[in-house]
Structure 1
Amino acid sequence: MRELEAHHLAEEIEDGVQLTLLGRLLYERYQSFASVADEVRRHAHLLSELPADAPITPDLLNKSDIVLPERHAPNRPVQRVTELVEGAEQVVALAPVALPAYVELFYEQIVDENLTAEFVFEPPVIEYLGTDYGEMLEEAAATGRFTATITDAELPFGLVVSEGERTGVAVIVYAEGGELRGIISNETPEALDWGREVYGYYRSDATRPDESN
């Protein structure tokens, strides 16, 4: 107690001891830091797969769900993204990898369910889609509800930001070789704002395929 008093962190009152204003502010800051540290530790398995400069913040991590593939259910992360997309009216996304399950999901939602979707792709991904899914890509583009752009940046993770009946964010984490490691899913307003900002950052320098030559 003497040490707390010496640093003006606490004071004795008639009923016992209370924090000073300085003490209360420092305690609240400590609680905030401890909460962030707990969230970072909870996500350590997936965060360790991302580059050091990946734009992850506590706004994404706080109150999020972590979905990992399991031996008996390797598609659990894909199912969570499917739920997010199927309940959406509009989606924006970053795509460093093209998983067949996601290609088919977005094709069906754009063509059959009137989903509006805008993507930022890395060049190898759009080349792969054009080669292996060319007809589906053209059919989706013909609806006027699908926009593809290309970035020269290396996308640190996949990202889906959905709005509509189902609103939320999913960060899709891949290993260096493209293997799906899991997703971080969050539907809080803070996470949604984070997702919009991150997507906007990469979209700002992206170009349409017919403009990139």
Structure 2
Amino acid sequence: MTDLSPVAAVERRIDVLRALDGAPDSKVGVAERVDISRSTAERAMHELATHGFVASSSDGYRVTIPGRLALDAHGQRAARIDAAAAVAPLFDGVSLSFDLDPAVLDGVRVVEAQPHAPTRPVECVSTLVADATHVSAYTGRFLSRHARLYHDRILDGMTGCFLTTERIIERQRTTRPGELQEVIDLGHVSLRRLDRDDPVTLVLAETPDGPEMGLVVYRDESPRGFLGTDDPAATRWARALYERLWTAATPV
């Protein structure tokens, strides 16, 4: 049975909807532009008009405001699917205790570690927090370069909230003795411990231009790659996730 839903209609008639997006046209004109028969063009117009995505005017059929919204939504969906394929190698074999929101894929920048440039994801985090006034970070992995980065930025005046495991806290104390207590004593850092051990680092950076989020994905202890975006829906998701983790964690 044919699916008569608006979603199915847009999927079936997307070429017609795109053809009308530039300027109104007749059924004959659309048939020629999309290279379909006139009867197919007529059925497409009728189906799209039934859902309010096109309407007849003195200049021919035109895309309505809802029709443009449907086009944008279809484009976002396609872009998210392409982005999901681009990040798939980073998540091969990775299991997380939380779900990623699809908004993370909107406007995402993907940087993979390469054999000749294994620190590229770490450099992305450095760029992310370079101008930050505050960071909220959750990590299930320890990188000495990240520890040094946060330490130096906090001494420069940045504040931070950090969530991690007991193992990583002890490693920080062993690897860089005194540094953790130094920034805590400044009053610029809040630290909490949790039991989960996801192979990622999530960073939400508050910057003068607004919030940005970054996610580093690891293979064992080495960064596979970095995902970054300042999309508002993505940063809202990152903030909500961090707040849930923070509430469930134990103060150090």
TM-score, normalised with respect to structure 1: 0.82
Q: Which of 107, 120, 139 does residue 76 from structure 1 map onto?
A: 120
**Post-superposition shift, 1:125?**
1.0
- Look up the match of 1:122: 165
C-alpha separation in 2, matches of 1:35 and 1:21: 21
- Look up the match of 1:192: 235
- Look up the match of 1:169: 213
**Post-superposition shift, 1:138?**
0.9
Q: Which of 86, 97, 104 does residue 148 from structure 2 map onto?
A: 104
Asked if 1:135 corresponds to 2:178, the answer is: yes
C-alpha separation in 2, matches of 1:25 and 1:65: 25
Given that residues 54 and 156 in structure 1 are in contact (C-alpha distance below 8 angstroms), is that contact kept between their aligned partners in structure 2? no
Q: Which of 196, 202, 208 does residue 245 from structure 2 map onto?
A: 202
Gaps of 5+ in 2: 1-39
Asked if 1:64 corresponds to 2:108, the answer is: yes
- Look up the match of 1:147: 190
Equivalent pairs, count: 206
C-alpha separation in 1, matches of 2:230 and 2:64: 37
Given that residues 101 and 234 in structure 2 are in contact (C-alpha distance below 8 angstroms), is that contact kept between their aligned partners in structure 1? no
> Which amino acid counterpart does residue 116 of structure 1 have in structure 2?
T
> Which amino acid counterpart does residue 139 of structure 2 have in structure 1?
A
Aligned-residue CA RMSD (Å): 2.8
SS at match of 2:221: coil
C-alpha separation in 2, matches of 1:105 and 1:24: 45
C-alpha separation in 2, matches of 1:85 and 1:26: 36
Structure having greater relative contact order (Cα 8 Å, sep ≥ 6): 1
- State the identity %: 26
C-alpha separation in 1, matches of 2:199 and 2:175: 24
Given that residues 168 and 192 in structure 1 are in contact (C-alpha distance below 8 angstroms), is that contact kept between their aligned partners in structure 2? yes
Gaps of 5+ in 1: none
Q: Deviations over 1:17-41 (max 9, x none)?
A: 6789998887666444323212211
> Which amino acid counterpart does residue 88 of structure 1 have in structure 2?
A
* Correspondences of 1:16-31 after superposition (within 5 Å): 30-31=74-75
**Post-superposition shift, 1:66?**
0.7
- Structure 1 residues 16 and 117: CA distance shift in structure 2, 3 A: same
Q: Whose helix proportion is higher, 1 or 2?
A: 2
